[in-house]
Amino acid sequence: MSFLNLSYEIMPGLLKGAVVTLELTVCSISLGFILGVALALGRLYGKRPVSLFCTGYIEFFRGTPLLVQLLILYYGLPPYGIRLSSFVAGILGLGLNSAAYQAEYFRGAIQSVSQGEIMAARAIGMSRFKAIVNIILPQMFRIVIPSWSNELIYTLKYSSVAYMIGAPELMAQAKFIAAENFRYFEVFLVVAFIYLIAVVILSRILSVLEKRVRIPGLQMAQ
Amino acid sequence: MLIDQPVILRVENIHKNYGKEKVLEDISFEVKRGETKVIIGPSGTGKSTLLRCINQLTTPDSGTVWLDGIDITNSGSDINQVRQSIGMVFQDFNLFSHLSALDNVRLGLLKVKKMDKRKASQEAMTQLVRVGLEDKAASYPAELSGGQQQRVSIARALAMGPKLMLFDEPTSALDPELIGEVLAVMKDLAKSGMTMVVVSHELGFARSVCDEIIFIEKGVIVEQGSPAVLFGNPRHQRTREFLSKINELYGETGKK
């Protein structure tokens, strides 16, 4: 069977997996986004215990392998009565892990917002909370886009690790198909292309977004 | 001298230390409505700290600040209310860099004063007209010159309807050719009856609009008095030396 014919034949199965991969990516990057903003703000502005907790969280999730985290969530929790499906465990694992990295990107962006602007906001009578919402966050979201798009791409690719806990995503589908037809080289070549195309599309979308919300003079300090 | 006017700001025995270093030592003065006071002194003598102690951006170690008869030191969360009536202009402008000139002026009206959008926009525009920047309303800070940015920041402070304006070296970060436009706005403001405390070495400005000059060195008030007295016949040798040194440095703008 020629490569093209083979590709055509295995495509439906792979695309089914690709859909799960995208679902995993979107859900876990969103979870990581919300948690990441909270962790960054907590680390920078929280009272000492809050700040320490956030720092500890970030260090733990950055300092241990994603695969270990996934295995703990999926195989480690059932004895304690928490039984997660492989899909949910995948989202949680990838999301909790991504939150730690995103928090650090957000922290960097927040720290590049000028302290003087915060002082100016306080001087016109804004509370600290209002200054964070109205001055820091709008700048942070713009400044962080370039580094954040890296995190999105990583998350998409690292979601392949979820196959280890049996989530029916792209890698799992590929492994399954290849085990049937023994065409490992071709199958994984197609898989690589599917990831590549997805990454290219996502980074295009983000660079369009970056241009859309761009404000003259506002970017990560060089 | 505005003898009959009520006192707007009274600063009483302000002390501030940073670690072991005494930044402000027993500073007291008062400002009547409509007065402009200029604070001068060598750099690092606590002039900026003093301004920040007035609106409590820095908390003094001891001493009291009275605004319109109300003690505003240690006023807790009410300080956000108090700060609305004290405008502040910074050396580095500190405009919100993600907002247009109009939005910079409007933000406080919307988020702090909770004005509705139409009214806030009108008020913000009025203030931009006042500083001569109505045609720059849509520009972002990075698209404005330093002088324009500083005028926007003055408009931002004025929009809140302050009783008192504090200026912290408003022209020190500006190219010489841009200083004039900012000083012109400040002079208009002083003449329109605004109460102002200005940290600046622009002696020309001091000469033409200010009621009293306060000379601070090493955290204490060395001498204070009308410009005529301080320029003409200061009591302290140190004041004379400092003023003549500044005159040498800023001579050009000093004569404007």
pLDDT along chain A (222 residues), means of 10: 84 92 96 97 96 97 95 93 93 97 96 94 95 96 93 95 91 91 91 95 93 84 46
* C-beta of residue B207 within 8 angstroms of C-beta of residue B190: no
Question: Which residues of chain A does B82 touch, with a Cβ-Cβ cutoff of 8 Å?
Answer: 125
Range of the domain at A68: 3-221
What is the distance in angstroms between the Cα of B240 and the nearest Cα belonging to chain A? 34
Selected residues 105-134 of chain A with any CB under 8 Å from a CB in chain B: 114, 116-117, 119-127, 130, 134
Which residues touch B136 (CB under 8 Å, ≥6 apart)? B101, B128, B144, B148, B152
d(CA B40, CA B199): 6
Instruction: Supply the CATH number for residue A182's domain.
Output: 1.10.3720.10
Q: Predicted ipTM?
A: 0.91
Q: What is the pLDDT of residue B256?
A: 40
Residue A120 has its nearest CB partner, among B77, B80, B90, at B90
Query: Beta-strand (E) ranges in chain B?
Result: 7-18, 21-32, 36-40, 62-67, 70-71, 86-89, 164-168, 195-199, 212-217, 220-225
A116 contacts B97? CB cut-off 8 A? no
Question: A139 CB near a chain B CB, below 8 Å?
Answer: yes
**Mean pLDDT to the nearest integer, B111-137:** 96
Q: What is the pLDDT of residue B251?
A: 60
* C-beta of residue B168 within 8 angstroms of C-beta of residue B91: yes
Q: What is the pLDDT of residue A112?
A: 92
Could you give the percent of chain B with pLDDT greater than 90? 75
Question: Which residues of chain A does B58 touch, with a Cβ-Cβ cutoff of 8 Å?
Answer: none
Q: Inform me whether the pLDDT recorded for B214 exceeds 70.
A: yes
Q: Inform me whether the pLDDT recorded for B250 exceeds 90.
A: no
d(CA B146, CA B92): 9
Q: What is the pLDDT of residue B254?
A: 43
Question: Which residues of chain A does B143 touch, with a Cβ-Cβ cutoff of 8 Å?
Answer: 216-217
Residues present in chain B in total: 256
A116 contacts B94? CB cut-off 8 A? yes
Q: Inform me whether the pLDDT recorded for B3 exceeds 80.
A: no
| pLDDT-derived band at B107, boundaries 50, 70, 90 | very high
Q: Inform me whether the pLDDT recorded for B118 exceeds 70.
A: yes
The count of domains in chain A is: 1
d(CA B104, CA A121): 10
Q: Inform me whether the pLDDT recorded for B155 exceeds 80.
A: yes
Q: What is the pLDDT of residue A222?
A: 41
Average pLDDT score, chain B: 91
Question: B160 CB near a chain A CB, below 8 Å?
Answer: yes
B73-78: which pairs have CB atoms within 8 A and are 24 or more residues apart? B77/A127
Question: Which residues of chain A does B80 touch, with a Cβ-Cβ cutoff of 8 Å?
Answer: 125-127
Q: What is the pLDDT of residue B4?
A: 78
The secondary structure element, H or E, covering residue B82 is helix B79-84
**Mean pLDDT to the nearest integer, B120-124:** 96
Neighbours of B64 (CB within 10 A): 15
Strand order in the sheet with B62-67: B21-32, B7-18, B62-67, B70-71
Q: Can you state the angle between helices A3-45 and A184-212, rounded to 10 degrees?
A: 40
What is the distance in angstroms between the Cα of A217 and the nearest Cα belonging to chain B? 5
The residue type of A89 is A
What is the distance in angstroms between the Cα of A119 and the nearest Cα belonging to chain B? 8
Question: A4 CB near a chain B CB, below 8 Å?
Answer: no
Q: What is the pLDDT of residue B74?
A: 76
For tokens 């009578």, what's the residue? A125
| pLDDT-derived band at B1, boundaries 50, 70, 90 | low
Query: Beta-strand (E) ranges in B41-96?
Result: 62-67, 70-71, 86-89
